[in-house]
Amino acid sequence: MIEFRSITKEYKKGIKAVDNLNLKLEEGKIFGFLGPNGAGKSTTIKMLVSIIPPTSGEILYNGVDIRKDPVAFKKLLAYVPDEPKFYQKLTGYEYLNFIADIFEVDEKTRKKRIEKYSALFGLEEALKDLVSSYSHGMGQKLSLMAALVHNPKIIVLDEPMVGLDPKASREVKDIMRSLADSGSIVFFSTHVLEVAANICDRVGIINKGHLIAESSVDELLKGKGETLEDYFLSITKEA
Ligand SMILES: Nc1ncnc2c1ncn2[C@@H]1O[C@H](COP(=O)(O)OP(=O)(O)OP(=O)(O)O)[C@@H](O)[C@H]1O
């Protein structure tokens, strides 16, 4: 389990991008993180994947601060950013092999996974080309493949559906489900409330750095007779 304990991030002194966040992410569950623009979603994700440190508070994995043994934690983790960056002079294959080397995935296993996911995403031919020739959507798919090549125990995705065609978007949702079903922690941010309502086991809504709701979609909407979109719009307006 991952636990955010009183996590606060101030980029500028006195201005809290994330304010006293307490949140638990469980194995086997897909957790959707929702919020308006500038609410603090990417900041939370970047703290979880150790790109930026919190100003205060701690993030625990199975009870241990993730900063205690960062390499051990990162070995379990895959991060799919909203704007993936690649080494442009590598081919897709070279990039995936580079990532597989870092995560010490053996040759046979990586070959099997690369074949499986390149077929799913229709990227078999493109993997021979330089990454610099890829469209935005192809880059998104490559970034997802790089995450999946080491079969992560924890996968964190920032706006994973943006720029994907409908088929790839469906594949990503199915992959997230099967990772969760195999016991991984799946945490992603999205603006697409329909996706969140359909695939998440739990959702959290953040607004102006504060977590203002957190539960299963059903519990959130129980007795309210609303869609997730109606509920989201009403509580982010009030807060
Ligand atoms: N590097 C930075 N320096 C200063 N302020 C920042 C920085 N990154 C984000 N912020 C501020 O922190 C707040 C939260 O931003 P964040 O990117 O986490 O929001 P978000 O929920 O991911 O938004 P979006 O949905 O638009 O991507 C915003 O007020 C933003 O301006």
Q: Which of 33, 37, 41 to mutate to test the pocket of ligand 1 (most atoms within 8 A of CB)?
A: 41
The two most distant CA atoms of the chain are separated, in Å, by 55
What confidence category does residue 56 fall into, taking pLDDT thresholds of 50, 70 and 90?
very high
Q: What is the pLDDT of residue 192?
A: 86
Q: What stretches of the chain show up as alpha helix (H) in DSSP?
A: 41-48, 70-76, 92-102, 107-120, 136-148, 166-181, 193-199, 217-221, 228-238
How many whole angstroms from its chain centre is CA 2?
14
Q: What contacts 24+ positions apart, CB below 8 Å, involve 105-109?
A: 105/149, 105/150
- Does 45 contact ligand 1 (Cβ within 6 A)? no
Q: Decide: 84 and 139 in contact? Cβ < 8 Å.
A: yes
The answer, yes or no, to whether residue 234 has pLDDT greater than 90, is no
Mutation probe of ligand 1 site: the residue of 11, 33, 55, 159 with most atoms within 8 A of C-beta = 11
Q: What is the ipTM of this complex?
A: 0.97
- Give the mean model confidence (pLDDT) for residues 142-150: 95
The mean pLDDT of 62-90, rounded to a whole number, is 92
For residue 118, report the distance from its CA to the centre of ligand 1, in Å: 33
**For the chain, how far is it from start to end, CA to CA, in angstroms?**
29
Task: Determine which of 129-143, 188-202, 223-237 has the lowest per-residue pLDDT on average.
Answer: 223-237
DSSP letter (8 states) at residue 128: G
Please tell me if the CB atom of residue 168 comes closer than 6 angstroms to any atom of ligand 1.
no
Average pLDDT of the chain, as a whole number: 93
The protein residue with its alpha carbon nearest to ligand 1, atom 25, reads 37
In angstroms, the CA 198 to CA 31 distance is 12
Residue 239 has pLDDT above 70, yes or no: no
8 Å CB contact between 161 and 176: no
Neighbouring residues of 169: CB distance < 8 A, sequence distance ≥ 6: 161
Tokens of 50: 């150790």
Measured distance CA(23)–CA(58) in Å, rounded: 11
CA distance 101 to 126: 21
Q: Is 190 in the pocket of ligand 1 (CB under 6 A)?
A: no
Q: Has residue 77 got a pLDDT over 70?
A: yes
Whether the CB of 39 sits within 6 Å of ligand 1: yes
Domains along the sequence of the chain with CATH: 2-85+154-238 (3.40.50.300)
**Closest ligand 1 atom to 18 CA:** 14
The Cα-based distances of 39 to 16, 43, 149, 211 in angstroms read 10, 9, 31, 9
pLDDT value at 224 more than 80? no
**Is 118's pLDDT higher than 60?**
yes
Average the pLDDT over 108-115 and give the result: 96
pLDDT at res. 238: 61
